Structure 1
Amino acid sequence: MEKRINLFAKGQSAIKPLFEIGMHLKKSTLGHNLLELVFFRASQINGCAYCLDMHSKELRAAGEEEYRLYGLSSWRETPYYTQKERAALAWAEALTTCKVTDEVYNAVAAEFSDEEVIDLTIAITTINSWNRLNLAFPNTPGTYKVGMFG
């Protein structure tokens, strides 16, 4: 593979808004672990190895149980996730695959406030952007350190 642009060295001004969204989300009422689960699931769907490495490390550092990480790709078939997490994961899958239905929207709206649905939607669209950026301008999986980006 030919060497690609280092996004973090050359694209700082372009990606600054994504970091600002991340700062907004840290202040949201969604919670760190819920956001990280959603980020991890979207990254699984998108096949972003760097993001999978990052978000699995963040989840482990936050005390997430290993079995919940291992079962995330089949969350519908496991008893490990709360109803709120299930609604968030379904919403993440729907937005990531562009298959949003009224049923999935109603489920997420039943579990979250209007502001939280907006923040969750922004979080999902942001991780999808990061996934695509990391696929276009790859970082080496395994190099992420917990808290590296704030």
Structure 2
Amino acid sequence: MEARMDIYKLAPGSFKAMMALQTFVNESGLDKTLGELIKIRASQINGCAFCLNMHTKEARKMGETEQRIYGLSAWHEAPYYTDKERAALALTEAVTLVASSRVPDDVYNAALEVFTAEEVAVIVMSIVTINAWNRIAVTSRTLPQG
């Protein structure tokens, strides 16, 4: 596969805007490991090789285990995710697949049971951000590094 375009050179203002959104998420106080799990799960759903490559490496650097990284696509059946992680992963799937399933009340309310409303807002912005990055990388065919 070959890259289609370097969208960041063609539309540099868009990259600056995306980085501002990413900076907000990075500085929001969201647990970094949870943030990487969200990024990996959304990237799995979206089939984004570039982001999967990047965020699995980042998660490993943070101490995340191979078992939990590999198990993300089957997190519903895996016993090694916390209630907070499960709520965030369910919300990640619902937001990522919003066109087909909307965001069900039970998924949203489950997140509110383990996170504050402010934390849910940040998690939603984290999900939105990785989905935007995925769509940019998949459309432009940004190739995985290394």
Identify the TM-score tier after normalising by the shorter chain: over 0.9
Root-mean-square deviation over aligned CA pairs:
1.4
User: What CA distance in whole angstroms lies between the structure 2 residues aligned with 1:86 and 1:37?
Assistant: 10
By how many angstroms is 1:2 displaced?
7.0
Residue 2 to residue 55, structure 1, CA distance change in 2 (3 Å): closer
Q: Which moved more, 1:83-92 or 1:94-103?
A: 94-103
Q: Does structure 1 residue 103 correspond to structure 2 residue 138?
A: no
Cα deviation code 1:2-50 (max 9, x no counterpart): 7622123222211212111111111222211101100100000000110
User: What CA distance in whole angstroms lies between the structure 1 residues aligned with 2:63 and 2:2?
Assistant: 38
Q: Tell me the percent identity.
A: 47
Q: 1:59-78 maps to which residues of 2 (within 5 A)?
A: 59-78=59-78
Of 127, 130, 142, which residue of structure 2 is paired with 1:139? Answer: 142
User: What CA distance in whole angstroms lies between the structure 2 residues aligned with 1:101 and 1:4?
Assistant: 36
Specify the code of the residue in structure 2 equivalent to 1:28: S
Partner of 2:79, secondary structure, is coil
User: What CA distance in whole angstroms lies between the structure 2 residues aligned with 1:2 and 1:105?
Assistant: 39
Which residue pairs with 1:89 in the alignment? Answer: 89
- Return structure 1 stretches of 4+ with deviation > 3 angstroms: none
Q: Does structure 1 residue 40 correspond to structure 2 residue 43?
A: no
Q: Which moved more, 1:33-42 or 1:3-12?
A: 3-12
Query: Which sections of structure 1, spanning at least 5 residues, go unmatched?
Result: 145-150
Q: In the alignment, is the contact (CA less than 8 A) between 2:41 and 2:73 conserved in 1? A: yes
Which residue pairs with 2:30 in the alignment? Answer: 30
By how many angstroms is 1:119 displaced?
0.8
User: What CA distance in whole angstroms lies between the structure 2 residues aligned with 1:66 and 1:2?
Assistant: 29
TM-score between both structures, scaled by the size of structure 2: 0.92
Which residue pairs with 1:147 in the alignment? Answer: none
User: What CA distance in whole angstroms lies between the structure 2 residues aligned with 1:126 and 1:29?
Assistant: 15
Q: Which moved more, 1:132-141 or 1:77-86?
A: 132-141
How many residues are paired up?
143
Residue 7 to residue 85, structure 1, CA distance change in 2 (3 Å): same
Residue 20 to residue 78, structure 1, CA distance change in 2 (3 Å): same
